[in-house]
Amino acid sequence: MTDFTFADIPEQTGKTTIVTGSNTGIGFEIARHLARKGARVILACRDGDKAAEAANEMKEGPERLEVDTLHLDLANIASVREAAETAQKEKQIDLLINNAGVMMPPLSHATAGTELQFAVNHLGHFAFTALLLGKLAENGGGRVVTQSSIAHKSGDIDFDNLDASNGYAKSPFYSQSKLANLLFALELDRRLRAANSPVASIACHPGVAASELTRHLKGGAFFQPIMKVVLNTSEQGALPALQAATDPNAEGGDYLGPRGLMEARGNTSGRAYKSERARDEALAKRLWEKSEELTGINFSV
């Protein structure tokens, strides 16, 4: 696979894409670039007002991009079900980009009782993907793109403490959620292949990029301008997801990320490193089964 740049994004006219967490930061840039290439993009976000502002910014600009919004609170499975039901009414869905995330907040919980990072970053996307998989299989088959992180390398899944009742530390719980993202994407690929599904599951990570994800970090607002210079801007951080979504050479099971400075930055994207735990199929299967149990939603593959 050759290095991928913004100039390599192919025409997307006629395609419909859902991008979660796309009212700001990396998600906004993913959505904007896809819309610029002709896709109809749906911003799936928790905050309806911010999503509307982002959509209006794209639609009212000189390019007059085709953008809509969808209310989606990934911490609330009832909201995930409602959003999926609305999305099912679309004529087609060609791309689902699971981008939304929360990073190292104070301890809080989702409606199901699990710790918030695990719930939003993994469980909500797991459930949303399951509910839309049939739709993605129509029209020749689409792609599911799941955003992980280089933080997955230090992650593990503590099945006995997913609700943080036995203790909470921000960073390990974030790494756990990002490992869960990658385990999910790779297990979904294996199951899709076994079922001869036309849908492809591809994972990616943005490197280290300045985005709203850092809002819970101490000094995050101060360091963002520095990060834009030293590491990646939000736009640069969007490139691996754009490659996963559009590169004809990308395949199910790929994991894509920046090509520079230990995968932390770069103007090109390509295959990235998967940790040993991310490649553990038994761990992925156990996580899958636990995720179905916690969400009450089962996959068709």
Give DSSP secondary structure letters for 178-203. HHHHHHHHHHHHHHHHHTT-S-EEEE
CA 137/CA 152 separation, integer angstroms: 29
CA 145/CA 165 separation, integer angstroms: 31
Residue appearing with tokens 């994991």:
255
Residue 183, number of CB atoms within 10 A of its CB: 30
Known active-site residue 174: yes
CA nearest neighbour of 138 among 77, 190, 91 = 91
**Annotated catalytic residue within 168, 174, 255, 273:** 174
- Taking a C-beta distance cutoff of 8 angstroms, is the pair 45, 71 a contact? yes
Identify any residues that bridge with 71 across adjacent strands, giving them in sequence order: 45
- Taking a C-beta distance cutoff of 8 angstroms, is the pair 139, 92 a contact? yes
Residue appearing with tokens 């004809």:
248
CA 127/CA 286 separation, integer angstroms: 16
Identify any residues that bridge with 17 across adjacent strands, giving them in sequence order: 41, 95
Output the six-digit token pair for 4.
Answer: 């991928």
Catalytic residue IDs = 174
